[in-house]
Amino acid sequence: MTDRPVVLIAEELSPATVEALGPDFEIRSCDGADRAELLAAVPDAAALLVRSATRVDAEVLAAARRLRVVARAGVGLDNVDVRAATQAGVMVVNAPTSNIVSAAELAVALMLAAARHVSPAHAALRAGQWQRSRFTGTELFEKTVGIIGLGRIGLLVAQRLTAFGMTVIAYDPYVQAGRAAQMGVRLVDLDVLLAESDFASVHLPRTPETIGLIGAEELARAKPSLVLVNAARGGIVDEAALHDALKNGRIAAAGLDVFASEPCTDSPLFELDNVVATPHLGASTEEAQEKAGLAVARSVRLALAGELVPDAVNVQGGLIAEDVRPGIPLVEKLGRLFTGIAGEVAAQIDVEVRGEITHHDVKVLELAALKGVFTDVVEEQVSYVNAPLLAAERGTAVRLVTEEESADHRNLITLRGTLADGAAVSVSGTLVGIHQRERLVEVNGFDVDLEPTEHLAFLSYPDLPGMVGTVGGILGAHGVNIAGMQVSRDAKGGLALMALSVDTAITPEVLEEIDRATTATWVRAVDLT
């Protein structure tokens, strides 16, 4: 036996990762894909290092009595139950920037390969056919490229394509025009981007709002010469619509690294000569894997030393009061709700914390709010350290306001912001009862009392009879079941707010139908999945 903390490595990592951990830990290994072996090995572990094959769920966390940190050597966290880890007081870290250069370079590689017919020309040559005239390509030089999503990876792609002599335009509703201009990029809406671009590259997160963002209607507006690349997330480009557009010559070519359902080995897109496809290789470089291993090794050392952990996705590390910790997931949700309701990034955000918890250091709640605000805005993983940087990049001023007195709730957290046009947005939440249940209690000045479930919708409309029935009828006709509803108004015959929790996501088409039927001043759906 040893007094050194046990670090359990559940999947193969680079030798540099083990070296970076150093001699202060007892390093053990297991096969994380073997459930019985993992459960037998994890009770002694202070840290668990995984990649994508090891499933870290509530069962594993319950067995890991000494576990303090789970480290995912990569970006995605689909195999880690972050909520269960947070409830267990276990930090979750990943390596959010380890693959950004690799992903950007692959997007450029796909663009070049599609423009120069590399894949079909290679196949023809291997088949013994020398067909130079068949594979005449297109230069990137002096062409216009549209970057769909101007986050870190999108910006890296833009910088690299500028070196090719391309004119760069971009679509990103969460980037202010002035900030884009500083990057040398002209900001446009999606229709303009598709109409003007010779090449386009997708770099958005996959959210309910972005799924199917580029479909048949959007592709019909594009130039016939368009080369479209998606190395971000599958499903953002409608694959059936893309196949139809490519087959019928409405656009010229596509480069794809991601698909709506993965692994994907059988797609009609693979039958087309004007498609070059790779099996989600964005992070598959030796450099990215080594960066990921080194990053999580550094985070594990910090976490087990009780220090600030830059890449923590659920808690920041260091000392967080037990009374403050349960509010972290709630505040992250409030941040996502704030952005969903605002529909853009605010110019100013105040994180107001009221009540007994202000006797403790609540700086982590400000960071949690910002993490939530940007979670559905950028493609890259948002952490407690990069969230303030993302706010600064987008020109958002942030302020933490604390007040010991809370009139209606033991503790109350409000996110209050001002948009670019001067409009105000606010959301408030609290925890109730001995089980600390999350409640949404205010939206834009209207009182509500609603659990912030996975699928929510909000609309503001003139206070007229029949509105509840109208909305319920539309949702029912589309098979959307209402789990909870709150209606609030500022005055009789004035403005009303309807807040709903529903069992399934509401599509943009259904939202538009509700908008028309209720003459709403605004309608929003927010998914917290």
Please spell the DSSP secondary structure of 83-137, one letter per residue.
HHHHHTT-EEE--TTTTHHHHHHHHHHHHHHHHTTHHHHHHHHHTT---TGGG--
Contacts of residue 404, Cβ cutoff 8 Å, sequence gap at least 6: 354, 355, 356, 358, 359
Tokens representing residue 124 in the block? 């023809």
Task: Give catalytic status of residue 72 as yes or no.
Answer: no
pLDDT for the residue numbered 147: 98
Model confidence at 249, pLDDT cuts 50, 70, 90, reads very high
The catalytic residue among 37, 142, 217, 262 is 262
Tokens representing residue 39 in the block? 């459960």
Q: Does residue 1 surpass a pLDDT of 60?
A: no
Provide the angle, in degrees to the nearest 10, between the axes of the packed helices 152-162 and 100-115. 50
pLDDT for the residue numbered 97: 85
Average pLDDT (237-258) is 97
pLDDT > 70: percent of the chain: 98
Task: Give the count of alpha carbons within 13 A of 235, CB side only.
Answer: 11
Model confidence at 490, pLDDT cuts 50, 70, 90, reads confident
Task: Give catalytic status of residue 360 as yes or no.
Answer: no
**Ramachandran area for residue 280 (φ above 0: left; ψ -120 to 50: alpha; else beta):** left
Which 3 state secondary structure label does DSSP give 64?
coil
CA separation for the pair 33, 425 (Å, rounded): 45
Surface-to-core class of residue 514, CB atoms within 10 Å of its CB (0-12 exposed, 13-18 middle, 19+ buried): buried
Q: Which CATH class is domain 100-277?
A: alpha beta
Q: Which of 501, 372, 348, 316 is nearest to 425 (CA)?
A: 348
The catalytic residue among 28, 116, 160, 280 is 280
pLDDT, greater one: 183 or 31:
31
Q: Which of 502, 457, 459 is nearest to 484 (CA)?
A: 502
**Residues paired with 113 in a beta bridge:** none
Surface-to-core class of residue 184, CB atoms within 10 Å of its CB (0-12 exposed, 13-18 middle, 19+ buried): exposed
Integer-rounded Cα radius of gyration of the chain? 25
pLDDT for the residue numbered 131: 92
For tokens 């050194």, what's the residue?
4
pLDDT, greater one: 407 or 48:
48
CATH topology of domain 1-95+284-318: Rossmann fold (3.40.50)
Q: Does residue 158 surpass a pLDDT of 90?
A: yes
Provide the angle, in degrees to the nearest 10, between the axes of the packed helices 363-375 and 327-342. 40
Task: Give the distance, in angstroms, between the CA of residue 412 and the centroid of all CA atoms in the same chain.
Answer: 26
pLDDT for the residue numbered 174: 85
Largest CA distance in the chain: 80
- The 10s digit of each residue's pLDDT in 376-433 is 988 876 777 678 888 988 889 999 999 999 988 999 999 999 998 889 999 999 999 8
Write down the mean pLDDT value for the chain.
91
Which 3 state secondary structure label does DSSP give 282?
coil
CA separation for the pair 363, 264 (Å, rounded): 43
Model confidence at 44, pLDDT cuts 50, 70, 90, reads very high
- The 10s digit of each residue's pLDDT in 106-152 is 999 999 999 999 999 999 999 999 999 999 999 999 999 999 999 88
Shared fold status for 1-95+284-318 and 100-277: yes
- Which amino acid is it at 116? R
Q: Is 152:206 a contact under the CB 8 Å cutoff?
A: no
Q: Does residue 2 surpass a pLDDT of 60?
A: no
- The 10s digit of each residue's pLDDT in 329-359 is 899 999 999 999 999 889 899 999 999 999 9
Domain ranges of the chain: 1-95+284-318, 100-277
Q: Is 419:347 a contact under the CB 8 Å cutoff?
A: yes
Task: Give catalytic status of residue 280 as yes or no.
Answer: yes
Model confidence at 316, pLDDT cuts 50, 70, 90, reads low
pLDDT for the residue numbered 319: 57
For tokens 């679509």, what's the residue?
171
Within 10 A of 475 (CB to CB), how many other CB atoms are there?
20
Q: Is the dihedral of CA 94, 95, 100, 105 positive or negative?
A: negative
Model confidence at 70, pLDDT cuts 50, 70, 90, reads very high
The catalytic residue among 68, 233, 336, 524 is 233
Q: Does residue 243 surpass a pLDDT of 90?
A: yes
Average pLDDT (197-215) is 93
Contacts of residue 184, Cβ cutoff 8 Å, sequence gap at least 6: 158, 162, 168
pLDDT for the residue numbered 313: 81
pLDDT, greater one: 83 or 428:
428
- State how far the alpha carbon of 220 is from the alpha carbons of 34, 140, 235, 512, in Å: 48, 22, 18, 21
CA separation for the pair 267, 242 (Å, rounded): 12
pLDDT for the residue numbered 291: 93
CA separation for the pair 226, 19 (Å, rounded): 47
Q: Which of 20, 28, 6 is nearest to 73 (CA)?
A: 20
Average pLDDT (23-52) is 94
Q: Which of 248, 312, 304 is nearest to 274 (CA)?
A: 248
Contacts of residue 27, Cβ cutoff 8 Å, sequence gap at least 6: 7, 9, 18, 21
Model confidence at 317, pLDDT cuts 50, 70, 90, reads low
